[in-house]
Chains A and B, each alone.
Chain A
Amino acid sequence: MKKKIAIIFLLTIISLQIYNSFAVQRFPKPEFESGHTQPPTITPDPRSHALAVLDVFVLAAALTVVTWLVLKKRSRNGVFWMSVFAVLYFGFFREGCVCSVGSLQNVTLALFNPEYSIPITVTAFFVLPIVYTLFFGRTFCAGVCPLGTIQDIFALRPLPIKTWLEKVLGIIPFIYLGLAILYAATSTDFVICRYDPFIGFFRLDATFMMFAIGGIMLLIGVFIARPYCRFLCPYGALLNLVSRFSKKHLTITPTECIQCRLCENSCPFEAIDKPVLLKEKEERPIAVRRFLMYTIIIPVLILIGGFTGSQFHENLASANSKVRLANELINETNFGETEKEAFEITAFKASGQTKTELYTEAAKITKQFYYGGWMLGGFIGLVFGLTLVSLTIFRYKEDYTPNKGSCLSCARCVDYCPVLPENKIELNKSI
């Protein structure tokens, strides 16, 4: 025994000197005289590819059914049950990943990172909802997206919020979208996934923080319907843009609006555009001048945004692990650890990478963030500019119509409309 310990001791000393000593056969595998057979190393298989393909088909089928329910059947009940199905299948059964919202980042990563090639199923998850939205409006949000539908089910006591506030907060998703793309393009992080509030519920397991964020979001969602979809979701921002030009879209009334105003407060998402009558029209010169002024300042806003973004790029870049590591090494801050060397620094030393290489890489990433900061800032400036311009436009309309951008096609308003397809009016309507 002593001899053995001595050998092990010796080997330890030797092993400390050899770089990367892991997994070296120091002791030969024995040959058993007793006829003992060695058990196999167990390697459980991951979820099969066929199931991932099935997911894509279920996605396409669910989109088709919801679209049919919204546009043809005009059934809020149907949409609700599809929501339940989506929560059960894409949520609790599928346990989240990959979802269309997150796939946005995979697509970005594939476009910018030469080492990453994207699985076709993920591309399908990204593209299918956009295609459906392009033709039929945001039916994906209505009853397929598990993040949206779980909030929809929890929208129990929606309270109205001010229309102007809705418009102001509606800018946040675009900022989030820009950030998510910047971080995915620089291979830094998938922020959307990192701060996904509901995934923990679907898995019935998550870190405390994730549960806390999700719980708060759902609680808010009881009173302010679908807060994540309206004021955060970056994929929603994308669909919002696409939906504005959709070929078909949910209509409140099956035929012609009779101006009964019954649907006026029916939308929990403030997505019904009310009539804008000529009496509200301002004097033409003032309106035109204002419109021109806001249009002209768009480039200025882009520049201001870009400049701000470029100045802010270091703060953005410090989320990148390589930049962070380089920074900690240079400043010798050791990731705030005082007692022992930070794991990151130990690992860096073990990796065999030289400091020069790390710094070069970090400098390169910082540079990317510099340009990225310009683009992100410019993009945000553009969004602000366009929002402002859209807030100066007077467009005469006399009917109640869903706002094609922000309407989530949930079909709640449909139940409020007394007009029947045959142009009759139902007087005492209840569900």
Chain B
Amino acid sequence: MEKIRKLIIANVQLWKAISYVAAIFSFIICFLIIANYFQINRIDPVNTEIINNLVERLNQNPNDEALREEIREIDLLARKAYFTNQWQIRTGGYFLLIGVIIFVISIQLMNSAKKITPEVGDKDENNLFIQKTARKWVSIGGAGIVVLALLFAFLSHNKLEETFNQAIIAENSGNEELTTKVPAVEQETANPIVQEESEEVDNVQEAVEEPQTEEIETNVQEIKDIYPTAEMKANFPSFRGPGGNGIAYQKNIPESWDGPSGNNILWKASIPLQGYNSPVIWGNKVFLSGAIANKQEVYCYDANTGNLIWTAVADNIPGSPTTAPAVTGDTGHSAPTVTTDGKKVFAIYSTGDVIALDMNGKRVWAKNLGVPENHYGYSSSLYIYEDKLIIQYDHRSASKVMALSVNTGEAIWTTERNGKISWASPVLVQTNNGVEILLLTDPFLASYDAKTGKELWRIDCLFGEIGPSVAYADGIVFATNEYASLVAIKAGAQPEKLWEQYDYLSDVPSPVATDKYLFLATSYGVVVCHDAKTGELLWEQEFQEGFYSSPILVDNKIYLIDKKGVTHIFKPDKEYVSIGKASLGEGVVSTPGFADGRIYIRTDKNLYCIGK
């Protein structure tokens, strides 16, 4: 140790010299790097305007070989310059680092060679003086900050929040004005005489209105043409998929897994409160709800990790009953599945409470629709069409279907139905007339225009306590109920029964249909396939367990989970071809949700994510 010390002390001059050299070296390198940096910015290869212009010129005279050569040369040069420059900066950086390190080491050595020469301060610093000066400057500093901040604030004062709120109002009223204008314009064309009379006045108005209305109409056209929308198809936004028709549009769905051993089970998360509803998936989030008599909740899980991201409680809702209505054990307080449009999530409970939450679980609005008089418990799931939340609300004292604004919860339209209680969920499908809502109750099947709520058609066909929702394919609606029948109805202004079957009927699972076939699962374990057009029974397959969960057609396969949690995967074909069978090891009554490469299954207590 002592030797090293001596060595260090002996060579102080050397260290000093080294430190000077290193400092000058670092300084020069630093200067060069900075110069290089500005150069590199000049020859950014991404924005080589010169080359772009030359190529443009070449396109105009494609036979100019000289120009072609020139471009190639410049391109090569530019790329070379760019990469060389980067290399230079990087190498320069290393040199600089080495220079600085040497500088610091030599100075540190120099310092350590110095004896500590403690200085005894000769002038007394008076504590009072220090405190006084510090107080003075703290005060001046604080006052300065306040003055500057206020000055800035008043100079740039633009009432941001107010501006935003006004903009929202302007935006909303703008939309409303436009939507009300559409029929107004139609009327004008219908009454040409009136128009002529007030032509002069209208001309001015029209000039203003026309472009806007056109825009709206094209918008409407676009939406009309795609339901479910691409966005909905990319997700799994509601019970039985987008529109609730039992079809999901995801790919690469796993065909084998095993619950007990965890094979292909990505994660498993426990669900705090019980509910016989199904998971819905949007982006990286999985939503579902749960409720007991005095507690209603919505849950959001991370689709990738299974972490419970948030829990929202639906309480303190005006009009909500103090005691929840009596429900049976196999329906529960939270049978309806939630739905989402990617911006908000909506849930409904046995109490008639509807809640809208944003994607972070913050409440947007909540209201009570009046307690449904339903001896098993309310069970119809929610759907969204554009900005409307569609709710089937058939109970003993009232039977109606309604659309609430997703943004405010205000009713946009309400249509009376005068049917009996129904436990079926709406199915939204695209037809030539736009988007129709298909609703089944005792004793009829009816269709409503999703935009206005107008009843388009209805046909008497079934009776009893109706549980299964309908299936729709190629203009045919398939409806079924236990003890009644399975019936195929040609949709349209003049609906007609195409065929009827009585052999195998369902009381819980809903059917699923392709253009050619109809598939139906029953609660006693038989799955059948009918020809969609003729009703001919093509095959029947008996399983050990019954089904409560509805079959979903996805990735050209049908996934159907029995009450014991065994999933049967088969082809949607005229013969029964099993593709696979996988067990979860836990009973399942909910319908699964799908994402690309994944299946989400809810059991009594847990949520499973299946995937590779």
Could you tell me which A residues sit within 8 Å of B by CB distance? 17-20, 113-115, 117, 153-154, 156, 162-165, 167-168, 171, 175, 204-205, 208, 215, 261-266, 274, 276, 280, 282, 301, 304-305, 308-309, 311-312, 314-315, 317-318, 323, 326-327, 330, 352-357, 359-360, 362-363, 366-367, 370, 380, 384, 387-388, 391-392, 394, 415-416, 429-431
Q: How large, as a class, is the contact surface on chain B?
A: 35 or more
CA distance A57 to B343 in the complex (A): 42
A-B contact pairs, 27 of them (CB 8 A): A19-B231, A114-B361, A156-B107, A156-B108, A162-B133, A163-B130, A164-B130, A165-B137, A204-B97, A215-B30, A264-B121, A265-B121, A308-B146, A314-B157, A315-B149, A318-B160, A353-B343, A356-B175, A357-B343, A359-B167, A362-B164, A388-B138, A388-B139, A391-B135, A415-B116, A430-B116, A431-B115
Query: What residues of A have a CB within 8 angstroms of the CB of B171 in the complex?
Result: 354-356, 359
CA distance A304 to B146 in the complex (A): 8
Query: What residues of B have a CB within 8 angstroms of the CB of A380 in the complex?
Result: 145
CA distance A318 to B149 in the complex (A): 14
Q: Which of A156, A163, A205 contacts B111 (CB 8 A)?
A: A156
The binding surface of chain A is classed by DSSP as helix
CA distance A392 to B128 in the complex (A): 9
Q: Which of B94, B142, B158 contacts A314 (CB 8 A)?
A: B158
Query: What residues of B have a CB within 8 angstroms of the CB of A153 in the complex?
Result: 104, 108
CA distance A156 to B116 in the complex (A): 14
Contact status B163-A330, CB under 8 Å: yes
Contact status A262-B111, CB under 8 Å: no
Query: What residues of B have a CB within 8 angstroms of the CB of A164 in the complex?
Result: 130-131, 133-134, 137
Query: What residues of B have a CB within 8 angstroms of the CB of A367 in the complex?
Result: 161
Query: What residues of B have a CB within 8 angstroms of the CB of A301 in the complex?
Result: 142
Contact status A366-B135, CB under 8 Å: no
- Closest chain B residue to A19 by CB distance? B230
Closest-CB distance, A213 to chain B (whole angstroms): 14
Contact status B107-A114, CB under 8 Å: no
The binding surface of chain B is classed by DSSP as helix
Contact status A429-B230, CB under 8 Å: no
- Say yes or no for B360: interface residue by CB 8 A criterion: yes
The digit string for B225-240, where 1 denotes a CB below 8 A from any CB of A, is 0000111000000000
CA distance A261 to B119 in the complex (A): 8
Q: Which of A171, A266, A363, A430 contacts B141 (CB 8 A)?
A: A171
Closest-CB distance, B549 to chain A (whole angstroms): 30
Closest-CB distance, B118 to chain A (whole angstroms): 4
Query: What residues of B have a CB within 8 angstroms of the CB of A327 in the complex?
Result: 158, 160, 163
Contact status B156-A167, CB under 8 Å: no
Closest-CB distance, B493 to chain A (whole angstroms): 30
Contact status A366-B149, CB under 8 Å: no
> Which chain B residues (131-185) contact chain A, with CB distance < 8 Å?
131, 133-135, 137-139, 141-142, 145-146, 149-150, 152-154, 156-161, 163-165, 167-168, 171-172, 175
- Closest chain A residue to B5 by CB distance? A431
Query: What residues of A have a CB within 8 angstroms of the CB of B133 in the complex?
Result: 162, 164
**Contacts A19-B230, A20-B231 known; A356 to B172 CB distance under 8 Å?**
yes
Q: Which of A114, A363, A388, A416 contacts B165 (CB 8 A)?
A: A363
Q: Which of B125, B150, B161, B407 contacts A311 (CB 8 A)?
A: B150
- Say yes or no for B37: interface residue by CB 8 A criterion: yes
**Contacts A115-B309, A204-B93, A264-B119 known; A384 to B163 CB distance under 8 Å?**
no
Closest-CB distance, A332 to chain B (whole angstroms): 11
**Contacts A156-B104, A163-B130, A165-B137 known; A308 to B160 CB distance under 8 Å?**
no
- Say yes or no for B59: interface residue by CB 8 A criterion: no
Closest-CB distance, A115 to chain B (whole angstroms): 6
Query: What residues of A have a CB within 8 angstroms of the CB of B294 in the complex?
Result: none
CA distance A429 to B117 in the complex (A): 9
Closest-CB distance, A204 to chain B (whole angstroms): 5
- Closest chain B residue to A318 by CB distance? B160
Closest-CB distance, A289 to chain B (whole angstroms): 14
Contact status A312-B164, CB under 8 Å: no
- Say yes or no for B310: interface residue by CB 8 A criterion: yes
Contact status B130-A392, CB under 8 Å: no
A-B pairs, top 4 by smallest CB distance, nearest first, are: A363-B164, A262-B118, A164-B134, A164-B133
Contact status A308-B134, CB under 8 Å: no
Contact status B149-A20, CB under 8 Å: no
Contact status B309-A114, CB under 8 Å: yes
Contact status A264-B167, CB under 8 Å: no
Contact status A305-B146, CB under 8 Å: yes
CA distance A323 to B158 in the complex (A): 13
- Say yes or no for B46: interface residue by CB 8 A criterion: no
CA distance A370 to B157 in the complex (A): 13
Query: What residues of B have a CB within 8 angstroms of the CB of A391 in the complex?
Result: 131, 134-135, 138
CA distance A367 to B131 in the complex (A): 40
Contact status B167-A311, CB under 8 Å: no
Query: What residues of B have a CB within 8 angstroms of the CB of A113 in the complex?
Result: 360
CA distance A16 to B239 in the complex (A): 31
CA distance A318 to B161 in the complex (A): 11
Contact status B149-A114, CB under 8 Å: no
Contact status B160-A317, CB under 8 Å: yes
Contact status B167-A312, CB under 8 Å: no
- Say yes or no for B127: interface residue by CB 8 A criterion: yes
CA distance A327 to B163 in the complex (A): 8
CA distance A185 to B116 in the complex (A): 48
Contact status B120-A261, CB under 8 Å: yes
Closest-CB distance, B47 to chain A (whole angstroms): 13
- Say yes or no for B13: interface residue by CB 8 A criterion: no
**Contacts A261-B121, A263-B118 known; A311 to B149 CB distance under 8 Å?**
yes
Query: What residues of A have a CB within 8 angstroms of the CB of B431 in the complex?
Result: none
Closest-CB distance, A361 to chain B (whole angstroms): 9
CA distance A263 to B163 in the complex (A): 60
CA distance A360 to B358 in the complex (A): 12
CA distance A115 to B160 in the complex (A): 26
Contact status B138-A168, CB under 8 Å: yes
Contact status B156-A355, CB under 8 Å: no
CA distance A282 to B127 in the complex (A): 11
- Beyond A261-B121, A314-B159, A318-B160, 8 additional pairs, beta carbon < 8 A: A114-B310, A261-B120, A262-B118, A314-B156, A314-B160, A327-B160, A429-B116, A431-B112
The digit string for B525-563, where 1 denotes a CB below 8 A from any CB of A, is 000000000000000000000000000000000000000
Query: What residues of B have a CB within 8 angstroms of the CB of A167 in the complex?
Result: 130, 134, 138
Closest-CB distance, B237 to chain A (whole angstroms): 14
Q: Which of B126, B142, B310, B360 contacts A384 (CB 8 A)?
A: B142
Contact status A168-B146, CB under 8 Å: no
**Contacts A311-B154, A363-B165 known; A274 to B125 CB distance under 8 Å?**
yes
Closest-CB distance, B149 to chain A (whole angstroms): 4
- Say yes or no for B53: interface residue by CB 8 A criterion: no
- Closest chain A residue to B344 by CB distance? A357
- Say yes or no for B48: interface residue by CB 8 A criterion: no
CA distance A265 to B121 in the complex (A): 7
